[in-house]
Amino acid sequence: MSEAVRETPVRRKKKLNGRNLSQFFICLSVLLAAMFFSLFYGSVNMEFHQKLDTVIKIITGDISSDDLLPYETIIYNIRLPRIILVAITGASLSLVGILMQTITRNELADPYILGVSSGASAGAVSAIVLGLFAFMSPYNVYIGAFAGGLISTAIIVLFNFKKSNMTNLVLIGIGISSLFSAITTAIIYLSKNESQVKSAMFWMLGSFSGIKWSYIPLPLVALIAVLIFCLLFSNVLDTLLLGADASAQLGVNVGAIKLAVIILSSFVVSIIVANVGVIAFIGLIIPHIVRNTISVKHFKLSLYSCLVGGAFLVIIDTISRSWFKPEEIPVGILTSLIGAPLFVYIIIKANRSR
């Protein structure tokens, strides 16, 4: 009897480990499959064997950027870097959403809803049109986006330093988003340079059009940084959900963690916005799905949100550039069509539970 009791936890642990492993490989497989099949779709029509041959060459490494056929150029130099950046963006925004929801203790917190993306967009547009931080070119757009995102994030945390209710947080976010959107619109309206206006409008809609290989390194660094932070401090993030006072009593430096989250979130969002514009609701949709299907613990939540977020946005981007061809719908529009109803649903659900 005693041996059976001693063996039960071991068996249970193995069972849980096996389940965790299967969940991880399922999510990873979905991401890789989404990226693989996305290479076959786009606005340019090609023969299936041309697509398949090129994809096989990419997988086996038997392809050189120096000597590419026209259809190979489309897949290798246009579609592949775009798909990689889409996956990075989906993963990054999902992780930022988790961090913001944790420090505000509110499941509605999201870079778009709270105005962080709008702040970063205003900063990026200011750098383009007004020439802010021009002395730091070619990184002036990144610096402008970071400054705008940092200001908007700091305002959110300042007003929500002690846990406020969901309604107040949403209203604050709407106010911040409206303010920075108005600033962005005013800058664009007053600009007399047509090319600058077109570039600025890009940040308003969110699109992955025109992505090159050179766009990938910085967003990849941002993703790695935020993922490492989420995994290393997963126990601390779990503790923060108990509240600032309880966390402090358990030895957590709440102020330092919040400051780190503010800086890191602003950095990641600014990198994303500077490259692809404002992509709405990813930080709301993905954590909500993972919490309700896999785990609320931050280690699993972060790891799986990274994979699911990447896969989700790759699928959305594939739809945006293949279902409406020869036109391409900005990804930000499609994510808003999905995220807005979920946003309303969460509010209604929260009000009913009171």
pLDDT digits (tens, 9 = 90+) for 29-61: 999 999 999 998 887 778 888 888 888 888 887
Cα distance between residue 133 and residue 145, in whole Å = 11
Whether the Cβ atoms of residue 102 and residue 241 lie closer than 8 Å to each other = yes
Q: Say what percent of the chain tops pLDDT 90.
A: 33
Q: What is the CATH number of domain 76-352?
A: 1.10.3470.10
**Per-residue DSSP letter, 211:** -
247-266 average pLDDT score: 89
Beta strands in the chain (DSSP E): none
Residue 282 pLDDT:
94
Cα distance between residue 295 and residue 127, in whole Å = 40
Q: How confident is the model at residue 310 (pLDDT cuts 50, 70, 90)?
A: very high
Judge if the upstream peptide bond of residue 81 is cis by omega within 30 degrees of 0. no
Amino acid occupying residue 8: T
> Could you count the other beta carbons within 10 Å of the beta carbon of residue 271?
25
Q: Which of 167, 173, 129 is nearest to 354 (CA)?
A: 167
Q: Tokens at residue 98, please?
A: 């988790």
pLDDT tens for 63-78 read 877 778 788 888 888 8
Residue 161 pLDDT:
53
Residue 349 pLDDT:
77
12-33 average pLDDT score: 77
Cα distance between residue 95 and residue 206, in whole Å = 19
Whether the Cβ atoms of residue 219 and residue 91 lie closer than 8 Å to each other = no
pLDDT tens for 138-190 read 888 889 988 998 898 888 777 765 555 566 777 888 888 899 989 988 988 88
Residue 154 pLDDT:
83
Amino acid occupying residue 28: L
Cα distance between residue 205 and residue 285, in whole Å = 18
Residue 12 pLDDT:
38
Residue 238 pLDDT:
94
pLDDT tens for 202-222 read 667 788 988 899 999 999 999
pLDDT tens for 72-99 read 888 888 899 999 999 999 999 999 999 9
Please spell the DSSP secondary structure of 250-277, one letter per residue. TT--HHHHHHHHHHHHHHHHHHHHHHH-
